[in-house]
Amino acid sequence: LTSKLDRENLAAERIAALREELAEHNHRYYVLDAPIVTDAEYDKLFGELVALETEFPLLVTAESPTQRVGGAPLPAFGSVRHAVPMLSLNNAFEDDDIVAFDKRVRDTLKAGDTPVTYACELKFDGLAISLRYENGVLTQAVTRGDGQTGEDVTANIRTVRAIPTRLRAKTAHGKAPAVLEVRGEVLLFRADFDKINDAQRAAGDKVFINPRNAAAGSLRQLDSRITAKRPLRFFAYGWGEIVGESPAGSGDQASSVAAPVAGAGASAPATPHDTHTAMLDWLRDLGLPVGQYRAQVQGAEGLLRFYEAAQTHRPNLPYDIDGVVYKVDALASQRTLGFVSRAPRFAIAHKFPAEEATTELLDIEVQV
Ligand code: NAD
């Protein structure tokens, strides 16, 4: 009994130290855009904290980085509260973690041995943004921030050519709703990143450490003329608030319901389609860029095949990815699975091992 108490005391000490260290790294990464450790090093510390908190659940507190998303919004920008929170994703590194994820999903859905259909996507290595369209017109763009409140970067986003300021009115998959919040990743292609760094060097300015960092720095410029010179890209992967059109002939009452990908406690679907795959097809038809490398697969085996294929394609992609993301495709099942504090239970990020990053950097140098 004594030894158990000792172990708990030791764990409490280590947990406190890890939280302090992670909080510092979070601040540098999300707020200052100036990390001092690699993502792999950060993930290792984070993983150690998750493991200790899993072993000693009584030591979990609301302030723990495992319970929170991202960093505080910069005061230089106006802050906007997200109508539907913007969450993070749980991470997995090993195939066994994916097999366990699939088992948990089947258990919760009471699916038995019936394989679950998943939507697989690339995990774009940029920063999350929420775009608000009202009656098809872009009205606001907000960073993820701490997940509840983000920075208003509308003026900067308006300079991004990859992001439509007006949605296509009518598509094969239905019309644009009265309000549509699109969630996705802002990123820089590698070739553009190299050009930006060349220009920075020539001007005697600081160079960016990687495309993600350069994208973050470009998006959070106080002078949008600078953002306008940076060819930022965007890929949509989800949605927030959707206020639909009223059903034909029933007056002008619109329904506003939190959507499943980012929303906690959604009561009923306001989505015009019932799978993640169909929703992304719909967003693409509305004129939003959606990553073309996607797949609908069955069960854990299908997930692991997608991972292998993505790893093979990775060096040939024009942008950085740090893994792949699997989401239960049926939105009704997503609602059944719901959320834990900082991430959905119906999705997981399967990250690539850290060593790959080095090989990839070499590949780029050869390509350029
Ligand atoms: P994350 O990057 O591991 O995953 C969640 C994010 O993935 C989402 O918010 C979204 O922006 C993005 N994403 C990309 N493609 C997506 C897709 N297809 N579908 C859904 N989401 C997609 O989590 P996080 O909370 O943004 O950040 C944690 C990660 O950031 C860590 O794992 C670490 O690698 C890095 N980090 C590094 C430091 C550092 O000091 N080096 C500090 C903090 C965080």
Q: Which residues in the chain show pLDDT less than 50?
A: 246-268, 356-368
Residue 123 annotated among the catalytic residues of the structure: yes
DSSP state letter for 169 = S
Residues in the chain: 368
Distance between CA 182 and CA 287 in Å, rounded? 11
Residues with Cβ within 8 Å of residue 36, at least 6 apart in sequence: 25, 28
Task: Give the distance (Å) from ligand 1 centre to CA of residue 5.
Answer: 35
pLDDT at 71: 81
pLDDT recorded at residue 268: 47
Alpha helix (H) residue ranges in the chain: 2-26, 39-55, 95-108, 154-157, 190-202, 211-219, 224-228, 276-285, 299-313, 331-337, 355-367
The answer to whether 57 and 117 have CB atoms below 8 angstroms apart is no
Which CA distances in Å does 274 have to 47, 94, 257? 34, 30, 14
What pLDDT is stored for residue 356 in this prediction? Answer: 41
183 phi and psi, to 5 degrees? -110, 140
pLDDT of 52 reads 96
pLDDT of residue 162: 95
pLDDT for 269 equals 53
Question: What confidence score (pLDDT) does residue 146 get?
Answer: 92
Question: Which pLDDT value is given to residue 262?
Answer: 41
Residue 295: phi, psi to the nearest 5?
-155, 150
Q: Tell me the pLDDT tens digit for each residue of 74-112.
A: 888 999 999 999 999 999 999 999 999 999 999 999 999
The string of pLDDT tens digits covering residues 103-140 is 999 999 999 999 999 999 999 999 999 999 999 999 99
Specify the pLDDT at position 362. 36
Instruction: Give strand ranges (E) for 53-190.
Output: 79-81, 91-92, 117-124, 127-134, 137-143, 149-151, 170-171, 174-175, 179-187
For 297, the enclosing helix (H) or strand (E) is: strand 295-298
Biggest alpha carbon–alpha carbon distance for the chain: 71
Centre of ligand 1 to C-alpha 88, Å, is 7
Instruction: Give the distance (Å) from ligand 1 centre to CA of residue 289.
Output: 20
CA distance 312 to 359: 12
Q: How far is the CA of 268 from the centre of ligand 1 (A)?
A: 28
Distances (CA, A) of 233 to 4, 31, 184, 349: 52, 21, 10, 21
Which residue type does 300 have?
A
Among residues 194, 123, 122, 124, the alpha carbon closest in space to that of 367 is found at 194
Residue 195 corresponds to which tokens in the numbers above?
Answer: 């050009």
* Contacts with 1 (C-beta within 8 Å, 6 or more apart), sequence order: none
d(CA 14, CA 353): 25
- The pTM assigned to this predicted structure is 0.88
For a mutational test of ligand 1's pocket, the pick from 66, 89, 314, 342, i.e. the residue with the most ligand atoms closer than 8 A to its C-beta, is 89
| 92 Cβ below 6 A of ligand 1 | no
Binding site membership of 89 for ligand 1 (Cβ less than 6 Å): yes
Is any atom of ligand 1 closer than 6 Å to the C-beta of 21? no
Q: Which atom of ligand 1 is nearest to the CA of 43?
A: 32
The single-letter code of the amino acid at 77 is: F
Go through 234-249 and write b for each residue having 16 or more CB atoms within 10 A of its CB, e for each that does not.
bbbbbbbbbbbeeeee
Answer yes or no: is the ipTM higher than 0.90: yes
Report CA torsion sign: 110, 112, 114, 115.
Answer: positive
User: Tokens 């119906």 — which residue?
Assistant: 346
End-to-end CA distance of the chain: 61
Considering the candidates 103, 110, 123, 229, report the single residue annotated as catalytic.
123
Tell me what pLDDT residue 253 has. 36
Nearest to 336 by CA among 48, 88, 107, 112: 107
